[in-house]
Amino acid sequence: MDVDQPASQVVNRRLRRAAGQLHGVIGMLESGRDHEEVLTQIAAVSHAVHRAAYLVIAGQLRRCAVATTDGERTATITKLEQTLLAIGQPQGRAPRCRRTESPP
């Protein structure tokens, strides 16, 4: 999937910002910060990455709208459907909570 230059710059900035946030989250974990704060920041990183993905998809939809042939349009729509399905799928199962010690 090609991304046009202005959209690519916007996506690049968003992903770099998300990478910075993620680096901050790692620092929070290493310094023993409260898990609620860490989870809030992880959610923010996740949202930023998803927004970048949707910008890429929106650009592809615009290209699809101006595709010159029905065959090109159909191929683009098929690729987009696959991409959307991949983005929406959770990566594995959530870990089960294991208690290592009894609460006080």
Residue 67 in contact with residue 76, Cβ under 8 Å?
yes
State how far the alpha carbon of 83 is from the alpha carbons of 27, 32, 77, 95, 101, in Å: 32, 36, 10, 25, 43
Most confident of 7-11, 74-78, 85-89: 7-11
Model pTM above 0.85: no
Closest CA to 10 of 54, 43, 46, 41: 54
Residue-level pLDDT at 94: 44
Residue 15 one-letter amino acid: L
AA identity, residue 6: P
Percent of the chain residues topping a pLDDT of 90:
38
* CATH superfamily of the 5-86 domain: Metal-sensitive repressor, helix protomer (1.20.58.1000)
Token reading at 44: 């923010």
Give start and end residues of each alpha helix (H) in the chain.
Answer: 5-30, 35-65, 70-88
Tokens 């098929």, located at residue: 78
Query: CB–CB of 47/22 below 8 Å?
Result: no
pLDDT in tens, 38-86: 999 999 999 999 889 888 888 877 777 776 777 877 887 788 788 777 7
φ, ψ of residue 68 to 5 degrees: the values are -80, -25
Q: Is the pLDDT of residue 29 over 50?
A: yes
